[in-house]
Structure 1
Amino acid sequence: MKRVVLGLCLLFVLIGTTACTMPWSKDDKQHTLKNTKKGNDEKITIVPQDNEKDYQIWHSDKTSPSRGYITYGVNNRLDINEMEMGLMRLSKSVFDPGKYYFQSGRYISTDLIDEMLARKLVKGESSDLPGVDKQGLNPPYGKGSDIGKRATDEPKELSYVLEQDYLTKNGKLSGVSLAVSMNSVYNQSIYYKKTGKTYPVDVTLNKTEQMQKGKSYANKVLQRIRQVKGLENVPVFVALYLEAAPGYDAPGHFYAVGTADGSARSISKWKNTGEDNVLFPSNEAESKYKDYYDKFDKFKDKIKSYFPNYTDVIGQGFIKGNKLQNLTMNININFFDETEIVSFTNYISGLLQSNNPFEVPIQINISDTTGQPEAVVVNRSDMDKPFVYVYGATH
């Protein structure tokens, strides 16, 4: 629990909140609302935020029907985090945190999600085919008898639809945000009951084509959710997301946004976000962001000079408008004792003070070769010196 709380503190440090007081350490405003339709009580907790630019959370003891369901459509944990937090961040352009509460999605059922993500069942095909539905939005299987080849020939394109709700101060639903996620790689193991076999499928899709198709899928999704009771006439903000490959060390990115006001069932005007998440080092970083790539490479060499044979360094940079906004670095080292951890962490802190080539917030996570966190260093331009914490150190 100590490490969880520390992690949240570090998030606040990285984004610029000066205090490290958890929101729930304050006196939460709690009140009970009577759910007259179901005849039971629903307890609502308003979770305040230290930063006025963030949403207060409308937390109900009735959990979201789709809670955790995103893992069935999105394979990369980094993508899941980026979709959830990125959608909330982008929603601020439409739903002002000073006027709206955030609530996890309550209206789109898992049945509707399954229906939309399913492959279209075409006339003449058997309904026994895995993952098909007459209302499915994904392409139908290709031709032939081999399920694996049919799936490979017509890969699934739409991977998930994530809902977030925005309420006014009286608790009324006043807006909905949707993340419509597209595959960059279609990776799935398909079990076919008829043959008793599992068919592995792994297809790399054209990213440019997928990003364009996302707009069409979003309008189809919008038409479906307008049929959901309570969502007929609320503004719907839609953010289009392109996933990274499964297991990749950086998430995908939101690439376009649009809003359907009132009861509109489609979006005709999309705005590019200018956002990207890039892995350092990588061919993509070298080709698209050469200056940042070179700076990272030189900084990495300075880090590795401390333990040249036992150090692995990667970074994840958030880009907006072709400019680096923040950088997270992960360092894995084979430590032999606690003193090595402390000395290496102090070395990293000193590098950030004297040789930091990046004028953006940086968080450096230091772990052993098994992935066990050992220390963390955070630096921002408004800090006199980096924030340093060694997990196992005694004070």
Structure 2
Amino acid sequence: MKKTIAVSLSLLFLLSGCGSTNEPEEVMDENKIDIHDQTSGNGAREYLKYNVKSDSFAVNRGLITETINNKIDMDEIETGLMTLSKEFFSPDTFLYEEGQFLTDVTSWIGRKSADNQQGLNPEIKVTDDMGWEKKMEIQKKNPMYLAYIHEQNYVDTKGNIKGISLGLAMNTIDYIRVQDSQGLMHFGEVRIDKKEMEKQGREMAEKVISRVRKIEGLGNIPIMISLYNVQEQNSVIPGNYYAYSFVKENENKIKNWEQVNQQYYYFPSDAGEKKDRDMAERLLNLEDYVNQYFTNQDIDFVGKALYEEEDITKLVIEVSSEMIKSPEIIGFSQAIVPELVDYFPHTPAYVYVKTPKGIKATIIKEEDQEPFVHIHEDN
């Protein structure tokens, strides 16, 4: 249940409750900071503009965790697709609904074979009498290009489907496992050529559109289809959507592709500093500022910034802290919000305050808008 927390508590009182010995000279009017309390578990969806039709779960619920190697790619596949969808399915008109139609995704992302004619990944010929080395060689020459297909539905207020968005997650590295005759598992990997990945993605997208049009209820609705490159295991930054196409209602083929020139950079890192020294310094200064007033806490910042060409389109800041009490979290939020506006006035910024008990606060600052805060309470 969501309830509004009174924000009339003085910032000085909250900071002193966190063990601070100093106070900022200037603070934003705290009555302008919208702070809400809610149950935990909303995660990355906090900043999305769509109203969510929450009474229907995805037909492929959980599949993404089996096919995508890291959590940050899982989040970006979903939220990045939603961002692209806004151009075609306005949040002012449509509700978001988890995918309800693609019931054969598991077959589609498999290899084509005698038992799986729906497989979009390359067919290979292996026999039981082959050694594991030979099987590994064959798979490296014919990697799994397609990792996952993500579906999002856009519906009217009555729940009628009005549009569908699809994201094809393409591997940049195929991680291979081969079992030998003794039952031992052998591991290998192959880095996929970028041009070949893009070629395969476009060819697979054509087949997906053809199949979607045959699904009952999807024969004549608009489809936005896009291609995403999955990062390698344990990457600290997610991949990104690099191309998309819009298939109008009653059209059955992709006419053209639009490029998405976006890339994430991680701060602090050498690559991030090289890309945007000013951003690196701003994040470092913000971290130093916060630590001045919460002297009994060890607070660390990690920034992930999404750039389109030279322009930053989204900044995500993950704050790691030992704070667990609500007054501490509220005090921290009220301290950082005016600085967030100061440091990044024209940048959409989303701050997640992570503690030993999980995410305890989400701070949302859209471009040129007043920020607001969600405080997450345990159930």
TM over 0.5: yes
Q: Does 1:65 align with 2:59?
A: yes
> Residue 56 of structure 1 contacts residue 97 of structure 1 at CA under 8 Å; is this kept in 2?
no
* Counterparts in 2 of 1:225 and 1:377: CA distance versus 1, 3 Å: closer
Alignment-mate amino acid for residue 152 of structure 2: Q
Distance 2:157 2:338 in 1: 47
Give the AA of the match of 1:269. Answer: N
1:70-122 superposed Cα distances (whole Å, 9 cap, x missing partner):
2222222222222222222322222233443332222211xx2122211233x
**CA-CA distance at 1:310 after TM superposition:** 6.0
Secondary structure of the corresponding residue to residue 88 of structure 2: coil
Quick one: structure 1 residues 348 and 101, their matched pair in 2 at CA, closer, same or farther if it must change by over 3 Å?
A: closer
* 2:170 matches 1:178: no
Give secondary structure in 1 for the equivalent of 2:301: strand
Higher relative contact order (CA closer than 8 Å, sequence separation 6+): 2
Do structure 1's residue 324 and structure 2's residue 285 form an aligned pair? no
Pick the aligned partner of 1:116 from 82, 96, 108. Answer: 108
Q: CA deviation at 1:268?
A: 2.6
The Cα shift of 1:224 comes to 2.5
CA contact (8 A) 2:77 2:167 kept: yes
Q: Is the 8 A contact 2:64 2:74 kept in 1?
A: yes
Q: Secondary structure of the residue that 1:162 maps to in structure 2?
A: strand
1:359-378 to 2 correspondence within 5 Å? 359-367=346-354, 372-373=358-359
Q: CA, structure 1 residues 82+291, in 2 after alignment: closer, same or farther (shift >3 Å)?
A: same
Q: CA offset at residue 213 of structure 1?
A: 3.7
Task: Provide the C-alpha distance between the structure 2 equivalents of 1:189 and 1:213, rounded to a whole number of angstroms.
Answer: 22
Structure 1 partner of 2:123: 140
What corresponds to 1:269 in structure 2?
A: 256
Partners of 1:163 and 1:242 lie apart in 2 by 16
1:315·1:328 contact (CA, 8 Å) conserved in 2? yes
* Contact kept in structure 2, 1:299 and 1:357, CA below 8 Å: no
Contact 2:319 2:353 in 1 (8 A): yes
Other-structure match for 2:185: 198
Partner of 1:159: 147
Per the TM alignment, residue 299 of structure 1 is displaced from its structure 2 partner at its CA by 4.7
Partner of 1:210: 197
Relative to structure 1, is the Cα distance of residues 354 and 308 closer, same or farther in structure 2, using a 3 angstrom cutoff? Answer: farther
The aligned residue for residue 104 of structure 1 is 98
- 1:349 is paired with a residue of what secondary structure? helix
Deviation at 1:355, TM superposition (A): 7.2
Between the aligned partners of 2:179 and 2:157, the Cα distance in structure 1 is 47
2:43 matched residue in structure 1: none
SS, match of residue 210 in structure 1? helix
Describe the superposition over 1:127-168 as per-residue Cα deviations: whole angstroms up to 9, x where unpaired.
6xxxx7343221334887433343233321111111122234
Q: Counterpart in 1 of 2:26?
A: none
Structure 1 residue corresponding to 2:138, chosen from 139, 143, 150: 150
Provide the secondary structure at the position in 1 that maps to 2:242: strand
Corresponding letter in the other structure for 2:318:
N
1:314 is the counterpart of 2:302: yes
TM-score by length of 1: 0.67
1:1-16 map, 5 Å: none
Q: Are 1:91 and 2:85 matched, yes or no?
A: yes
Conserved 8 A contact 1:374-1:391: yes
Q: CA RMSD in A?
A: 4.5
- Separation in 1 of the partners of 2:173 and 2:310? 24
Q: Distance in 1 between matches of 2:357 and 2:54?
A: 34
What SS class does the counterpart of residue 133 from structure 1 fall into?
Answer: coil
SS at match of 2:55: strand
Aligned residues: 338
Q: Which residue of 2 aligns with 1:82?
A: 76
TM-score (norm 2): 0.69
Segments of structure 2 that go 5 or more residues without pairing to the other structure are 6-31, 39-45
SS in 1 for 2:53: strand
Q: Provide the identity percentage.
A: 22
Once the two structures are overlaid, the 10-residue window that deviates more, 83-92 or 354-363, is 354-363
- Residues 91 and 356 (structure 1 numbering): CA distance in 2 closer, same or farther, change over 3 Å? closer
Cα deviation code 1:258-294 (max 9, x no counterpart):
1122343331312223433322223442444444345
What is the CA–CA distance in structure 1 between the aligned matches of 2:297 and 2:157, rounded to whole Å? 57
CA contact (8 A) 2:36 2:374 kept: no
| Aligned twin of 2:50 | 54
